[in-house]
Every structure is written in C-alpha cells, then in structure tokens.
C-alpha cells in the first residue's frame, strides 16, 4: 500500500536509532568517514549535484547556499540548524529530532567541514522540550565518543555543537530573527543584504538550513549526489517529508519523491476523510497561497511545478480541506495567527495583520459591509513586498488566494446565506 | 543568595560556556528559570540579567517578546490547546471550549486552586495528529472530549498525590 520512499525517514521505525550504538548499527557516521577524506569543494559539489533544496520554506538550493560562504574570514563561521518548526501545518522536523537526532549531528559536522566552520547550534522551538532533551543527550553522547569536539575521530577536524532552546515565537523561524534570538535579543528580523552567508551570527559568515535539509546531507554523501537527484525530478532532487493534515483519512508524515502528483499524495493519506469531496488544499504550510480542488488535482508536488501554479512547496505542510469548510473562517484563523506572531517591527505587517484580522472577524460574524472584499484585498496587497521579512507576505498571500478563488463564498456571507460549514449561523472561532 | 537551585545554577554555567557572548544564553536561561520557579519574579530577572551582563530593563524587553515566558504564575499544569488550522479542521475549537467548561477558566486564566491554567495557543507542530494540546511540555494528541476528560482527571490525581 505504502508508496513511500524512505530515506530521511528510514530510521523512524527503529527505536534504537536515537542512541549512538543504534545509529552506528544502521549505517550512521559512514557519511562523515567519507566526508573527512573529501575536500570542502568536493562536498559542496556533491550537494549541488544532488539538487537538494531547502526544506524549510524558500526552497533555495543548498549547495549553492553553502558556496556563498567566503573561504577566508576574520570572524568565525557558523552552521545553524533551524528547528524552530512553527509554520502551521508542519510537523516533520520533530520526527527527525525524536527518531534520528544523530543524522542531524552528522549533517552539521559535514556542513562545518564544507564551509570551514567549527561551531554549530541547533535552534529548537521552546515548546519541543522533550525533543530538546533528546538532542542534548545525542550531542553529549557524540562528544563522549569523539564525534564532536576537537580532532574528531583523529581526523584533525574540530567541530562543536550545542542545542539552543527558543521560548515561543514563530518569527524566530525567519533566519535573521533566529540569529537575533540566538544572540539573546528579541527576534526581530535584520535588513538584508548582507545575507547570512556573508554576515550572520555574531557578524560571522553563517550557513543556516532547515533541520530536514541538514539531516538529508549524510544520505547524499553516502549515496552520491546523482543518486539523490535522480530520486526526484529535474532541479528538485530527492524525497521530502510531506505532512498531511486536516480532512484527510489518514493524516501523517509521509516521505515521497519530489514531483509526486498531488492525487497520489492524497491517496497515500487515504483520500479525503469520511468520503467527502475535496474543496481546497494548502500546499506547503499556512503561508502558501491555496489551491482549489480542481487546481490541486493537476499539481505535481515539487518546487518548480507549484511555483508555476502560483504558490510554494514551502515547509511540506499539506492541509486538506473538505467541501464543508468555511473559507471565511479559514482565512480568519490564518490571520489570527499572523496577527499574533507579527513581531511589530514593520508597520505594514503589524498594522496590516491587525486590520485584516478585525475586518475578517467582522465579516465572519455577519457584519461584513459592501466593499469589504475589496478592502481585504487592498490591505493585503499593501503588505505584500513591503516588509523586512516574509512574515508580512505570509499573511497576505494566503488571504489573497482565498479572496480570489473563493470570492463567491465571501459574497454569500454578505448576502446572509448560510455558510458552507453546514451549521446554521456562523460559528465563531474558539478565540479566547 | 541565588533564587535558583544548585542544579539550575550549574545548568546556567554550562549554558554560558556554549557561546562566545554571554548574552546568547539569555532566552534559554529565562525558560529554565521559569521551569523551576513557575514564572519570572523580579529577583530571578535580576539574577539572570547579572549572569549575562544585561540590565533588568533589557531582560524585561526580551521577556515581553516570547510567548512562553511569563511574569505571573501559571497553574501547576498549564493546559495549552492548539486551535490553529490543522487542529481547527479536526475539532480543535470544540476541544478548547470543552477545556474552558471543564476547568471553569478562560484564556490565560488560572483556576482558584492553582492546579490548572488554560491558554489557547498557536500551532504546536502536532498537525498530523490533530487536535492536540500540551500540558506543560507533554503532548496529548488525536483528542476527543472524552480523552480530554481522562487527561485532566489524571493530572488532577497527580496534583492531589503530591
């Protein structure tokens, strides 16, 4: 039944893999042994060849990101793992942390060798405390066995790694805000450029990657870039973890090759729950523009296909909405989130998310006014592209996509027609 | 005199050794401080500030930013219900309402006996196992109102046993 291709998730069923012995028994640290004999450029070339792209959201080619780090630097260089998994609909990194923490350690040491960095940090969201504990234990075990610290396994390579806990802030998943937080400050984004590869943590050249991205690196080093690239489709190498949630029969995290047709992904999840009809799909976390059922059924799940269709593969959080979902309510809940998480630094985001939340709330409660649909669109368009970081866009993009694709539903609300929730009246959000 | 236990003080020292800049330890230190004290009282804020070389005002500025850090005590068991999209689509709103009714408290309120507090929270990364909630750091997933009752009963028992 399962059409999964298990690479990143190959140890998820092995309870021993979270210990060093278990990890070694399942082929762990073979990539490091190999990488220790490779030149830094050769490692970067292999990752480039693999067509591995960032699994956190933006989908930037990982090898290219690494190659931007200058060889010579007066300041120390850093490798950061972004495990601040907070994008609604996304729940994959926690499985890697839980079942395969050493693959991350191994990936980060290899990244360190590739860019000549001797210090890494794993930034884990504060809510994931049990995973922070697992990571800390794994790191301590790696130190004791000589896989971290000075002169790793007698190779002459030095690499230190520590787990760092956040304390609740979606914004810290944005790379520059994460660095501010790691420096003990409020998680406010930095103006870019300079990009982290030139000036990141403590002003040093920094590579920052999503946890799944870094944990994939050892598999690429062992299997080869070409092997990995061929698992996916051109320019979209390998497999990724898709987090299926919402109205799907078997929600879960499934590993499938990039480019998998959406209908097949849905089938792996058992189809829409309770035999209902599909209405809409969030392709890659709450910030990505949504698709109608019809659009979604024609999609291939890779970065370029989804971009061509006007959205993003994002963080792999695929949310399924059935025919009874009220899109006004859905838009409102998304905006409640972004309003709460806006760091307040940029006016368009801070004010825009607040006004959009108020207007959507009024609308959903039955107090919508003529012209409100256009007002929502205008405010969203005025946020788009006008903020330091992508959080503003993340709030505006799904809203615009819902307004465009489900405009009639908004107009029906205005006309006082019963909402597609199928419930008489309009159920309020739980909201406080 | 420190307001923290020996173990927490040692943990702070280990943390401080992880960074080239002391200030970097601030956010995790505040969270660990809160784990021990239940919240961040002024004396804890001052002590953590001294350890990282930051003024009390600077520390308060940081505390104000992070949603998990608090200046007032929460209940012994802090119930955090996710109502974000993936949970909402699977009845997260009902779970939250159910918790409000059962506990007799609302958002960010603490029950009179101090056993429970409640908070409606944003996505906790349990989307594929929705609806979900956290009690302190423990996840409870694939919830139904009946399951919530069981969970709350278990914590109440635990509180009584101490």
CB contact A193 to B (< 8 Å): no
Using a CB-CB cut-off of 8 Å, the residues of chain B touching A332 are: none
Predicted local confidence at residue A114, as pLDDT = 98
Mean pLDDT of B135-146: 98
* Closest-CA residue of chain A to B58: A185
Distance CA B27, CA A163 (A): 13
Report residue A314's pLDDT band, with 50, 70 and 90 as the boundaries.
Answer: very high
For A86, the closest of B18, B52, B123 (CB atoms) is: B123
Distance (Å) from the C-alpha of residue A155 to the closest C-alpha of chain B? 23
Query: Closest partner residue to A169 among B26, B67, B90, by Cβ?
Result: B67
Out of A91, A187, A429, the one facing B93 most closely (by C-beta) is A429
B146 CA to chain A: closest CA distance, Å? 19
Comparing CB atoms, the residue among A126, A181, A343 nearest residue B68 is: A126
What pLDDT is recorded for position A425? Answer: 45
- Average pLDDT value for residue range A176-198: 96
Whether B89 sits inside 8 A of A245 (CB atoms) is: yes
| Mean pLDDT rounded to a whole number for chain B | 97
Q: Does the beta carbon of A101 lie under 8 angstroms from any beta carbon of chain B?
A: no
Contacts of A331 (CB under 8 A, 6+ apart): A360, A398, A399, A402, A403
Instruction: Please list the residues that pair with B123 across neighbouring strands.
Output: none
Interface probe with B: pick from A75, A91, A170, most Cβ of B within 10 Å: A91
Residue B119, pLDDT score: 97
Pairing verdict, β A160-165 and A252-257: unpaired
Q: Identify all chain A residues contacting B81, using CB atoms and an 8 Å cutoff.
A: 430
Q: Tens digit of pLDDT for each residue in B21-38?
A: 999 999 999 999 999 999
Residues in chain B: 162
Compare CB distances from A128 to B61, B62, B125 and report the shortest one's residue. Answer: B125
Q: Are A225 and A46 in contact (CB under 8 A)?
A: yes
Give A424's pLDDT tier (boundaries 50, 70, 90).
very low
Task: State residue A21's pLDDT score.
Answer: 98
Query: How many CB atoms sit inside 10 A of residue B50's CB?
Result: 12
Question: Which chain A residues have a beta carbon less than 8 Å from that of B97?
Answer: 430
Q: Which whole number is the average pLDDT over A52-70? A: 96
Residue contact B66–A169, C-beta within 8 A: yes
Q: A31-35, A218-222, A359-363, A412-416: lowest mean pLDDT where?
A: A412-416
Chain B closest-CA separation from residue A253 CA (Å): 7
What whole-number distance in Å separates Cα of residue A270 and Cα of residue A272?
A: 7
Q: Return the ∠ at Cα A281 (arms to A279 and A283), rounded to 5°.
A: 170
Residues in Cβ contact with B100 at an 8 Å cutoff, skipping those fewer than 6 apart: B106, B118
**Predicted local confidence at residue A422, as pLDDT:** 46
Beta pairing partners, A246: A320
- Residue B105 structure tokens: 């408290």
Residues B75-110 have pLDDT tens digits of 999 999 999 999 999 999 999 999 999 999 999 999
Contact A404, A384 (CB under 8 A): no
The Cα angle at residue A98 between residues A212 and B19, in degrees rounded to 5 = 75
Cβ within 8 Å of residue B14, ≥6 positions away: none
Q: According to the model, what pLDDT value does residue B44 have?
A: 98
Domains in chain B and their CATH numbers? 6-65 (1.10.10.1590), 77-161 (3.40.30.10)
Q: Which one of B52, B90, B96 has the shortest CB-CB distance to A430?
A: B96
Residue of B nearest to A85 (CA): B125
Strand partners, A207: A79
Q: Does A342 touch chain B (CB under 8 A)?
A: no
Chain A, chain B: beta-carbon pairs less than 8 Å apart: 158
Mean pLDDT of B63-68: 97
- Report residue B17 as tokens: 């050794």
User: From CA A160, how far away is CA A149, in angstroms rounded?
Assistant: 5
Q: How far is it, in rounded angstroms, from Cα A105 to Cα A355?
A: 43
Buried b (16+ CB within 10 A) or exposed e, A254-276: bbbbbbbebeebbebbebbbeeb
Taking CA atoms, B81 is separated from A144, A432, B98, B118, in Å, by 39, 11, 10, 8
Q: Which of chain B's residues have a Cβ under 8 Å away from the Cβ of A88?
A: 84-86, 122-123, 127
A252: chain B residues, CB-CB within 8 Å: 128
pLDDT tens by residue, A89-99: 999 999 999 99
- Residue in this structure with the two tokens 């029906």, named with its chain if needed: A412
Q: Residue A414's pLDDT band (boundaries 50, 70, 90)?
A: confident
Chain B residue at shortest CA distance from A253: B128
Residue from the list A181, A243, A429 with its beta carbon closest to the beta carbon of B27: A181
CA distances from A174 to A2, A55, A399 (A): 34, 13, 20
User: Residue A429's pLDDT is what?
Assistant: 63
Whether residue A368 is predicted with pLDDT greater than 90 in this model: the reply is no
Is the pLDDT at A380 greater than 70? The verdict is yes
pLDDT tens digit string along A257-288? 999 999 999 999 999 999 999 999 999 999 99
Nearest chain A Cα distance for residue B155, angstroms: 18
pLDDT the model gives residue A421: 56
Going by C-alpha positions, the residue among A391, A410, A274 that lies closest to residue A330 is A410
Taking the Cβ of residue A108 and every Cβ of chain B, the question of whether any pair is shorter than 8 Å is answered with no
User: How far does B158 lie from chain A, in Å, by closest CA?
Assistant: 20
Facing residue for A319 by CB, picked from B25, B68, B85: B85
Q: Is B128 in Cβ contact with A253 (below 8 Å)?
A: yes
pLDDT at B1: 86
**Total count of residues recorded for chain A:** 432
A282 chain-B contacts, CB cut-off 8 A: 85
pLDDT given for residue A431 in this prediction: 62
Residues A201 and A77 sit within 8 Å (Cβ to Cβ): no
Strand-pair partners of B80: B119, B134
Q: Is A129 on the interface with B (CB under 8 A)?
A: yes
Q: What whole-number distance in Å separates Cα of residue A149 and Cα of residue A397?
A: 44
Q: CB contact, 8 Å: A77 with chain B?
A: no
In this prediction, residue A430 carries a pLDDT of 59
Average pLDDT of the residues in A120-130: 98
Quote the pLDDT of residue A177: 97
SS3 A166: coil
Helix residue ranges, H only, chain B:
6-16, 26-37, 42-52, 56-63, 85-88, 92-103, 145-161
Neighbours of A193 (CB within 10 A): 9
Partner B contacted by A316 (CB < 8 A): no
The reply to whether residue A245 touches residue B127, judged by beta carbons under 8 angstroms, is yes
Do the Cβ atoms of B130 and A251 come within 8 Å? yes
Pick from A372, A394, A374, A373: nearest CA to A383: A394
The predicted structure's pLDDT at residue A364: 86
The band of A428, judged by pLDDT with boundaries at 50, 70 and 90, is low
Tell whether the model's pLDDT for residue A2 goes beyond 90: no
Are residues B89 and A325, on separate chains, in Cβ contact within 8 Å?
A: yes
Scan for tokens 């959000």, then name that residue. Answer: A429
Cα(A379)–Cα(B158) distance, rounded to whole angstroms? Answer: 50
Question: Chain B closest CA to A45's CA: distance in Å?
Answer: 31
- Rounded distance between C-alpha atoms, residue A195 and residue A197, angstroms: 6
């Amino acid at each position: 039944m399962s059409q999964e291709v298990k690479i990143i998730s190959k140890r998820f069923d092995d309870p021993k893999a979270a210990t060093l012995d278990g990890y070694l028994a399942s082929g762990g640290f073979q990539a490091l042994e190999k990488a220790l004999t490779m030149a830094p450029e050769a490692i970067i070339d292999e990752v480039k060849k693999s067509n591995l792209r960032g699994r956190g959201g933006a989908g930037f080619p990982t090898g290219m990101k690494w190659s931007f780090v200058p060889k010579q630097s007066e300041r120390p260089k850093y490798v950061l793992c972004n495990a601040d998994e907070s994008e609604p609909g996304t729940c994959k990194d926690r499985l890697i942390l839980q079942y395969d923490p050493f693959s991350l350690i191994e990936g980060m040491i290899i990244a360190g060798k590739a860019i000549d960095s001797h210090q890494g940090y794993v930034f884990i969201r504060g809510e994931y405390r049990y995973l922070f504990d697992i990571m800390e234990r794994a790191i301590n075990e790696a130190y004791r066995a000589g896989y971290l610290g000075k002169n790793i396994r007698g190779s002459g390579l030095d690499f230190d790694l520590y787990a760092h806990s956040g304390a609740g802030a979606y914004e810290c998943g944005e790379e520059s805000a994460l660095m501010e937080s790691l420096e003990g400050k409020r998680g406010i984004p930095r103006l870019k450029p300079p990009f982290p590869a030139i000036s990141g943590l403590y002003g040093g050249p920094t590579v920052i990657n999503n946890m799944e991205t870094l944990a994939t690196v050892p598999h690429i080093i062992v299997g080869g870039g070409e092997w990995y690239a061929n698992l996916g489709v051109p320019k979209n190498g390998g497999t990724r973890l898709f987090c299926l949630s919402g109205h799907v029969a078997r929600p879960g995290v499934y590993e499938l090759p990039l480019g998998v047709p959406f209908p097949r992904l849905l089938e792996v999840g058992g189809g829409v729950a309770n035999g209902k009809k599909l209405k809409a799909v969030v392709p890659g976390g709450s910030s990505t523009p949504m698709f109608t059922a019809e659009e979604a059924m024609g999609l291939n799940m890779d970065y370029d296909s989804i971009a061509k269709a006007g959205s993003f593969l994002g963080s792999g959080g695929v949310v399924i909405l059935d025919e009874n979902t009220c899109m006004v309510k859905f838009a409102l809940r998304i905006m409640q989130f972004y309003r709460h998480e806006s760091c307040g630094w940029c006016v368009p985001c801070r004010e825009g998310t607040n006004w959009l939340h108020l207007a959507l709330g009024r609308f959903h409660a039955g107090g919508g006014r003529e012209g409100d649909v256009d007002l929502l669109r205008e405010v969203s368009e005025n946020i788009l592209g006008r903020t330091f970081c992508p959080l503003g866009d993340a709030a505006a993009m799904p809203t615009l996509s819902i307004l465009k694709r489900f405009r009639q539903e908004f107009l029906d609300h205005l006309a006082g027609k019963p909402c597609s929730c199928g419930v008489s009246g309009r159920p309020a959000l739980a909201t406080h | 005199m420190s307001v923290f236990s020996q173990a927490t003080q040692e943990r702070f020292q280990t943390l401080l050794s992880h960074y080239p800049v002391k200030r970097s330890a601030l956010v995790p230190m505040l969270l660990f401080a809160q784990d021990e004290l239940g919240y961040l009282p002024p004396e804890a804020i001052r002590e953590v500030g001294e350890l990282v070389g930051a003024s009390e005002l600077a520390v308060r500025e940081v505390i104000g930013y992070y949603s998990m850090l608090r200046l007032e005590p929460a209940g012994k068991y802090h119930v955090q219900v996710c109502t974000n999209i993936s949970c909402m689509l699977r009845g997260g709103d009902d779970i939250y309402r159910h918790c409000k009714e059962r506990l007799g408290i609302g958002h960010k309120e603490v029950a009179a006996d101090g056993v429970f507090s409640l908070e409606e929270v944003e996505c906790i990364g349990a989307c594929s196992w929705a609806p979900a909630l956290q009690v302190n750091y423990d996840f409870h997933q694939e919830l139904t109102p009946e399951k919530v009752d069981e969970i709350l009963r278990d914590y109440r028992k635990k509180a009584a046993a101490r």
